[in-house]
Structure 1
């Protein structure tokens, strides 16, 4: 681990005494605070932290229990609510009165959702969320997602540090073997430890998350970014449909790695010219009264106009009047059109 030079160590004591560690980036007097909890190495997310700092936020990024710098044992998807509560309460005490946003992508989106069940926050910004064990194991049609799960558990599910990924050939061979003899017998042949095998069995037998029961009481504004080619696309849609507070869904021609998954450089250029996903984020933050970048205008991809027709795009003139929507349960969507290089804004409910 190489500590970031522009951050300081942050430590929180969990309920059972385990030390949860991470890093803090940001100004001495922040306009807001963002908390991200990740299993992939908090110090690796410096670019994300600096982007939030550029918006005036203090960004706190923690390693989840049992991963990298945090104490405890690593059990994916099992301890994120209580640990998230401990981290957020400590951060709130350190930053009294500052708006607090939970954010994260993939597994880190799960940690944010679980923490929001335990403590009130001002907003959530989630990217390509992994909702839970069952949702990562099975697709929306009940088919096992062997390629993604075998690859993920080999690399990230087997200890405090991530391992090198399997080669494409090695991963394909393991998928073929699991298809032939079953996921449990195949994993035993791979030499995984008893603890890892226990978690692997739990993955395939876990019930699906009851979204209404889990998140039905949450009312914080939600920015939910998914990708047309992401394997969690359908789950993000279910979460958006179940959310009881204001939700803005963002769609585009990318996969689980967002813009990094766009192979067509012309499309990537069009996305950058249209403000990118960061432009949507800034407009949404401003719409919800939260600190944002300084370049937000009426032509940004998120419109505050409840009555704006679905045909409004990012090319709408800056002089177009907008009216705030007083309804707390509004549902809206921004979709990037790769052919035109424009964002299309829609009121969905």
Structure 2
């Protein structure tokens, strides 16, 4: 890991004393605060942090418990509510009076949701969210998502640092073996540690989240970016249905890696010409009374509760609509 030269180290003590560490990127005169908590290496989000700094936000990116620079043990999806609350409360004390946004993609979207479940935040920006254990294990039809889960747990679920991904042929072989003898027996054959096997069993036995109960009471506006080709698309829709505060859903022809998953060069070019996802983000921030790019001045929050933007790949235009 090479520490980012344009950020300073940042640490928060969790309730049990474990130090949750990361980096803080600071504009000269911050107008807001953004928190991202990730298991993939806080320093890797430097470009995202800098984009928030250009909008006037102080951006703090932390490693989650047990990953990279943060202390504690790594148990996916189990510690994010309490740890998120501790970090948000510290940031509120460090930057009193500034609006605080929690953000993240995939697993980091889960950490943002859990923080908002535990403590008041001013807004959420979520991209292709992975909602929880059961939601990542099974698809909308109840089929096991073996390809994605075996690959993810091999690479990210087995210790403080990520490992190189499996080769395509190795992953295909493991998926077939899991189908043949079962996910638990197969993981034993792969030589996973007892701690990893415990989390692997928890993954496949976890009950689905009651989204109405978990997040229906969060009183903060949500920008929810999902992808037509993302394997978590249906879960993002369920989250949108459960959200009771203002919500804006963004749809488009991408997968879990967003624009990087658009194979057609012309469609990617059209998306860039239309301002990309950054244009939608700036408009949404301004419409919710939050600091945004200089070209999108802060406006009074709109009373409309449910809206949607969809990128049309054929025309290269954004279509905006009310959904309720």
**TM-score normalized by the length of structure 1:** 0.91
Look up the SS of the partner of 2:85 in the other structure.
helix
Compute the displacement of 1:23 (Å).
Answer: 0.2
Q: Is the 8 A contact 1:279 1:296 kept in 2?
A: no
Between the two proteins, the alignment pairs up a number of residues equal to 323
**C-alpha distance in structure 2 between counterparts of 1:175 and 1:216, whole Å:** 36
Instruction: Report the counterpart of residue 185 of structure 2 in structure 1.
Output: 185
Matched, 1:81 2:58: no
Instruction: Report the counterpart of residue 112 of structure 2 in structure 1.
Output: 112
User: How do 1:199-238 residues align onto structure 2 when only pairs under 5 Å count?
Assistant: 199-238=199-238
1:339 aligned residue (314, 319, 322): 314
Compute the displacement of 1:219 (Å).
Answer: 1.4
Compute the displacement of 1:324 (Å).
Answer: 7.1
Instruction: Report the counterpart of residue 95 of structure 1 in structure 2.
Output: 95
User: How do 1:14-163 residues align onto structure 2 when only pairs under 5 Å count?
Assistant: 14-163=14-163
Compute the displacement of 1:193 (Å).
Answer: 0.2
Instruction: Report the counterpart of residue 271 of structure 1 in structure 2.
Output: 271
CA gap 1:28/1:324 in 2 versus in 1, 3 angstroms: closer
Look up the SS of the partner of 1:124 in the other structure.
strand
Instruction: Report the counterpart of residue 326 of structure 1 in structure 2.
Output: 303
Cα-to-partner distance string for 1:249-301 (whole Å, 9 max, x where unaligned): 0000000000010111100000001010010000000000100012238xxxx
Q: Is the 8 A contact 2:22 2:60 kept in 1?
A: yes
CA gap 1:325/1:60 in 2 versus in 1, 3 angstroms: closer
RMSD: 1.2
**C-alpha distance in structure 1 between counterparts of 2:28 and 2:81, whole Å:** 28
Cα-to-partner distance string for 1:35-81 (whole Å, 9 max, x where unaligned): 00000000111000000000000000000000000000000000000
**C-alpha distance in structure 2 between counterparts of 1:295 and 1:279, whole Å:** 10
Look up the SS of the partner of 1:34 in the other structure.
strand
Q: Runs ≥4 in structure 1, deviation > 6 angstroms?
A: none
**C-alpha distance in structure 2 between counterparts of 1:241 and 1:171, whole Å:** 34
**C-alpha distance in structure 2 between counterparts of 1:78 and 1:155, whole Å:** 18
Compute the displacement of 1:26 (Å).
Answer: 1.5
Compute the displacement of 1:28 (Å).
Answer: 4.0
CA gap 1:54/1:189 in 2 versus in 1, 3 angstroms: same
**C-alpha distance in structure 1 between counterparts of 2:303 and 2:258, whole Å:** 31
Look up the SS of the partner of 2:110 in the other structure.
helix
Question: Unpaired runs of 5+ in structure 1?
Answer: 298-303, 305-322
**C-alpha distance in structure 2 between counterparts of 1:79 and 1:289, whole Å:** 31
Question: Unpaired runs of 5+ in structure 2?
Answer: none
**TM-score normalized by the length of structure 2:** 0.98
Compute the displacement of 1:345 (Å).
Answer: 0.8
Instruction: Report the counterpart of residue 241 of structure 1 in structure 2.
Output: 241
Q: Is the 8 A contact 2:288 2:301 kept in 1?
A: no
